[in-house]
């Protein structure tokens, strides 16, 4: 069975690679800056996902178009502990979702680093900047994510990484069966 391509993107230092590794192995890593696409594979409920983890540095964002080409799912990671970068993140996010090649592709949006108090305090500001309910050309799902202090993160179980993984499977299965 073919792998299902997932394009993972966001600004530098958002936590994309760490989140990807955590989804795959439930372990935290010490990441290095992503200088090219990190290609990885996740197996969730017998479905194989091919992950295109994009570099987030300004000088490397031009390669993103190569990553979202033929993607089945877009996953954006926002570091909510840096509200001063929300506008920059929105600009980059918008360039991807407004691209005709991504029209209709489901979006999974991660309000990330939920273990940090400032991330929780900035959540409503992030929601106001990104206005996810106004995106109508694709299914949109949002999750509050963290790879640290999971027991004390206060994330409802349907919005945590476990819920996110189930949603990814559901999106692929609904595409496959046309539901």
Query: Which residue range forms the structural domain that includes residue 107?
Result: 71-177
Task: Supply the pLDDT for residue 176.
Answer: 58
Question: Does residue 138 register a pLDDT over 50?
Answer: yes
Per-residue pLDDT band for 178 (boundaries 50, 70, 90) equals low
Per-residue pLDDT band for 34 (boundaries 50, 70, 90) equals confident
> Domain holding 94: CATH number?
3.40.50.300
Long-range contacts, stretch 44-49, CB < 8 angstroms, 24+ apart:
44/165, 44/168, 44/169, 45/165, 45/166, 45/169, 47/1, 47/4, 47/168, 47/169, 47/172, 47/173, 48/1, 48/2, 48/3, 48/4, 49/3, 49/4, 49/5, 49/6, 49/73, 49/168, 49/172
In a domain, 81, yes or no: yes
In a domain, 122, yes or no: yes
- Number of domain units in the chain: 1
pTM of the model: 0.92
In a domain, 169, yes or no: yes
Of 29 and 151, which is predicted with more confidence?
29
The mean pLDDT value of the chain amounts to 90
Per-residue pLDDT band for 162 (boundaries 50, 70, 90) equals confident
In a domain, 92, yes or no: yes
């Amino acid at each position: 069975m073919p792998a299902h391509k997932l394009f993972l993107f966001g600004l530098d230092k958002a936590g994309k690679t760490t989140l990807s590794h955590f989804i795959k192995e439930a372990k935290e890593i010490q990441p290095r800056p992503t200088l090219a696409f990190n290609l990885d594979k996740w197996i969730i409920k017998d479905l194989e996902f091919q992950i295109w983890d994009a570099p987030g540095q300004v000088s490397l964002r031009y390669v993103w178009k190569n990553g979202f080409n033929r993607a089945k799912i877009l996953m954006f990671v926002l570091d909510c502990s840096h509200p001063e970068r929300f506008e920059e993140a929105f600009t980059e996010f918008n360039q991807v979702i407004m691209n005709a090649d991504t029209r209709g592709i489901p979006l999974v949006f991660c309000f990330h680093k939920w273990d940090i108090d400032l991330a929780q305090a900035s959540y409503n500001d992030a929601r106001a900047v990104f206005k996810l309910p106004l995106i109508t050309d694709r299914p949109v799902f949002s999750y509050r994510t963290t790879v640290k202090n999971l027991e004390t993160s206060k994330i409802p179980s349907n919005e945590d990484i476990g819920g996110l993984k189930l949603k990814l499977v559901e999106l692929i299965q609904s595409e496959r069966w046309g539901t």
